[in-house]
Chain A
Amino acid sequence: MNAQNNSQINAQANTQALRFVPASEFKERAAVAVADAHLRKSFRGAMDFLIAKRAAQFPDPVALESQRGLAEHIRKYSLARLPDLLEQLERNLTANGVQVHWAENPEQANAIIINIARRHSTKLMVKGKSMVSEEIELNHAMADAGMEALESDMGEYIVQLDGEKPSHIIMPAIHKTKLEIARLFAAKVPGAGYTESVDELIGIGRAVLREKFMTAEIGLSGVNFAVAETGTLCLVENEGNGRMCTTVPGVHIAITGIEKVVEKLEHVPPLFALLTRSATGQAITTYLNMISGPRKPGEKDGPREMHLVLVDNGRTQAYSDEQLRSTLQCIRCGACMNHCPVYTRIGGHAYGTTYPGPIGEIISPHMLGLAATHVLPTASSLCGACGEVCPVKIPIPDLLIRLRGEAQHDARPGHAPMLGQGAAKSALVDAIWSGWAALYTRPALYRAFGWLATRFRALTPPMQSGWTVSRTPLKPAKRTLHEQMAARERR
C-alpha cells in the first residue's frame, strides 16, 4: 500500500480522536456497560486469562510475599529520596547528551513536545506505548498544532484507528473482538482485504507501521524505570515498536511521570520481574530496552537528539501526604484492574479517565481533582483483591476509603486541601449524620425514636433511595431490640 493512502487514513483517525469523557458521568456509563453482554464477555474472558497467567508465574506464595516486600521497599526508598534522585537523573542524562524538561501540568508538557516537534518541521510523530502521553492528551494537542501523532503499539493503533481510547493500560484493545478488528481494518486500512486471521491482521499493521517508522521525524516513548545513577531509561515491551520509535527517527522524546525514578540499576531487576509477571504472566518480555543517550559520534543509528519530559500533573499532591504517597509506588502492571470485580464488569471506558480500575480510582483524583472524580473511589466493593495482587503492595482499599473521606469533608487540620477537597459534601447527608449523632448521644431521644419507629413501622417509605434500586425495602422490627431483650429476661 502506498504512503499517501496511509497518511489519509491516519489523518482520518486523528480527526476522530476523542478527549476523555467526564469521570463525573461514571455511574451512567457503568450502567450502560453492565447491560452490554458482549462487552462483559470480552472483559470476563480476557481478565480470567490474565489472572490465570499471573497465578501460574507465582506458584510459591511465600516467595511471592518476599519479592513483593523487596519491590515495595525499593519503591518506598526511591520515593523517600525522590527530589535528590530526580536531580541526579537529570545530571547524568544531561552528561549523556539528553535534554531534560520539567512540566507541572499537561499544558506545559504538550507545549514542550510541540516546540521540539516544530523545531524539526515535524509532520509525523510515531508513538510507542505511553500512558503519560494519554494523560496529557498529546495526540489531540499535536492534531491541534497541525501535526500527526500515530500510535504504533498494535493495540493502541487499533483503538486510534477506530477513534477510541485504550480500555486497559496494558492491553488497550481488549474490549474489541477479532471480528470487530477484522471489519475495522478492512474498512479503514486502504488495500487491506477482509481477514479474520490474527497473523494476517498483525501483518497488515506491521506493514503500515514499518512505513511510518521510516518516515517519522520524531519517535515518542514512555519510560518504565528511570535509573538515576547511570542516566538510563528502561522500556519494557514485546512488540518492538518501542524500539522502532526510540531508534529509527532522528529525534526521540521520552515522557514520564516524576515517580518512575530508581536510584540504582540493580534496583531494576526485582521490579522488572514482578512487572511482567503481574501484568501478562510472562517471566520476561521480548525486549528490555535500556537507553542511556542519543547516537554517539561514530555510531551508525539511533536518534541524533534525545529529550526526557518529566511530568508532575498532580503527583506532587499525592507525594505531599505520607499515606497518599504510596499511590506513587505504582509500576503500572494493571494487575489491580485484572482482578477487580468492578473493572471486569464495566470495562475501562466507563471510568472516563486515562487510568481505569483501582489504580485509576486512586491516582485520578490527584490529576483531575476530586470535583471531577469523587465518584471513582466509590466504584469498589472494598473486596481487597487489588491490594492483595499489587506487586509493590500499595494499600489500595485504604486509599479508596481515605479519598472517599477527603471528598466528603474539609481538609484535616494541618493538611493542605486536596484539589477539589470536599467536592462530594452534601447538606442533606450532613443533616442526616447530625440527626443520627443527636439520636445516638441522647438516651431519651433514642428511646423515643425507637418506640415511634417500631410502632409506626407501617409508615416506612417503600422507596429508599439507592437502597431499593436492587434490594427489598428496609423495615423496622415490631419491637426495639431493648424491648425484645427485656421480654426475654422476663421469660
Chain B
Amino acid sequence: MSARDNILQRLRAAPQGTAPLAPDVRGFHAAVSAARPASNRATRMEVFCDKMAFWHAEVVKVTRDNWSQKLRELCAAKGVRSLLYGEQTEYTAALLAAGIGGLKPYDRPVDDWKQELFENTDASFTSTRGGIAETGTLIIWPDANEPRLMSLVPPIHFALLDADKLYETLFDAMIEQGWSGGLPTNALLVSGPSKTADIQVTLAYGAHGPKELIVLLLVNEEELA
C-alpha cells in the first residue's frame, strides 16, 4: 500500500457523525452587507484611499488623459532610471508615448536576465484587475505580458487601478469576477509595500519586495478634486 492509500484509508475508516451542511458563505456575506450602510463608487474610493494610506502606499488620482504624464512626473521625482513594463497591454501604447526615460519591456524569460531584473531595475508599472476597498487591496493577475515578478522585484511598483473595478470586499470581487471559473497560474492580492515586524515588533518597509507602492487610481475628471 502506498502512503497515499494508507492515509486515505485511515481517513475513510474514521467515524463520521452527521455530515455538516455546506456553509452558506454567500448568505452570510449578503446579511453582513445588508446590515452595513450601502456603498457606492465615492465611498469605495474614499475607503480604499484611507486604507492604502494606512498600508503606507501612495494613491494618486489620474484620468485616462493624464495618467501617463503623471507617471512620467512621478518617475522623475523619484529618480527612477529604469521602468519595467509589460508589452501588449491596453496601456502600453500610451506609456510608450509619454516620453518616460529608461523604459524596459519584460520581453524575455526571466532566466535570461535575472541579474539585471534584481540589480538594475528601479521600478515597474503594471495594470491591475481591480481593487478592494474594505482592506485597501490591489488584485493583480499576472500573465505572459505582465509576469509575476513585476510586482515583486523592482523596489518601486506603480499600479494602475480603474476606479470602476473597485469592489467593497474580497468576497464581492471573487464572486463578481468569477475567479473560481479560471484562475491564472499566480493570482495576487497586494496591500501596500512589503513589510516585516520580525525585529522586536517594529514595523519596517521593504522587507523582500517593493519598498514603495504607488497606486494610480483612474477616475473621472470631476472626481480629481
Give A contacts to B, CB under 8 Å: 45-46, 49-50, 63, 66, 70, 73-74, 76-77, 80-83, 86-87, 96, 102-104, 108, 152-155, 158, 171-174, 176-178, 181, 198-199, 201-203, 205-206, 209-210, 213-214, 229-230, 232, 238-241, 243-244, 246-248, 250, 258, 263-267, 269-270, 272-273, 280, 283-296, 298-302, 310, 312, 316, 319-322, 325
Contacts and interface: CB of A to CB of B under 8 A. Distances in A.
A70 B2 CA distance: 36
Contact of B148 (A82, A158, A199, A302): A302
Nearest to A153: B198
B60 interface: no
Which of A63, A73, A202, A230 has the most C-beta atoms of chain B within 10 angstroms of its own C-beta?
Answer: A202
Interface stretch (B9-17, B73-81, B94-102, B120-128): B9-17
B149 A248 contact: yes
B30 interface: no
B16 to A, nearest CB: 7
Interface stretch (B38-46, B62-70, B201-209, B217-225): B201-209
A77 B6 contact: no
Contact of B3 (A104, A172, A199): A104
Given A210-B118, A301-B149, A286 B191 contact: yes
B199 A240 contact: no
Given A77-B22, A232-B183, A301-B147, A286 B198 contact: no
5 tightest A-B CB contacts, nearest first: A240-B209, A155-B198, A240-B194, A239-B207, A316-B10
Contacts of B204: 198-199, 201-202
Contacts of B51: 283
Nearest to B114: A214
Interface residues of B, number: 76
Nearest to B25: A266
A182 B110 CA distance: 35
Interface string B87-126: 0000000000000000000101111001100100000000
Interface string B162-174: 0000000111001
Contact of B180 (A82, A264, A288): A264
B207 A299 contact: no
Interface in B177-225: 179-180, 183-202, 204, 206-210
A323 B179 CA distance: 35
B19 interface: yes
A229 B178 CA distance: 13
A163 B198 CA distance: 17
Nearest to A304: B111
A44 to B, nearest CB: 12
B37 interface: no
Contacts of A266: 25-26, 171, 174-175, 180
Interface string B31-65: 01000000000000000000100010000000000
B177 to A, nearest CB: 11
19 contacts: A74-B23, A77-B23, A181-B200, A198-B200, A198-B202, A206-B207, A213-B208, A232-B183, A239-B196, A240-B152, A248-B110, A269-B170, A269-B171, A280-B197, A284-B189, A286-B55, A287-B209, A302-B185, A319-B14
Contacts of B210: 240
B100 to A, nearest CB: 21
Nearest to B13: A320
A141 to B, nearest CB: 17
A327 to B, nearest CB: 13
Contacts of B109: 300-301
Contact of B20 (A73, A198, A296, A319): A73
Contacts of B143: 299
A178 B199 contact: yes
A157 B187 CA distance: 27
Contacts of B188: 243, 287-290
A286 B152 contact: no
Given A177-B200, A238-B197, A240-B194, 12 more contacts: A73-B20, A80-B16, A81-B19, A155-B198, A171-B198, A214-B114, A248-B114, A265-B180, A287-B190, A287-B209, A320-B14, A320-B15
Given A104-B7, A239-B209, A316-B10, A70 B23 contact: yes
B164 to A, nearest CB: 22
A73 to B, nearest CB: 5
Contacts of A181: 199-200
B135 A284 contact: yes
Contacts of B183: 230, 232, 265, 290, 292
Given A80-B16, A316-B11, A158 B186 contact: no
Nearest to B152: A243
B187 A316 contact: no
Contact of B197 (A171, A230, A291): A171
Given A76-B20, A287-B189, A202 B206 contact: yes
Contact of B135 (A49, A199, A250, A283): A283
Given A83-B8, A202-B199, A103 B3 contact: yes
Contact of A300 (B55, B110, B169, B179): B110
Contacts of A247: 148-149, 152, 186
Given A266-B174, A272-B170, A299 B197 contact: no
Which of B2, B22, B209 has the most C-beta atoms of chain A within 10 angstroms of its own C-beta?
Answer: B209
B147 A302 contact: yes
B199 A158 contact: yes
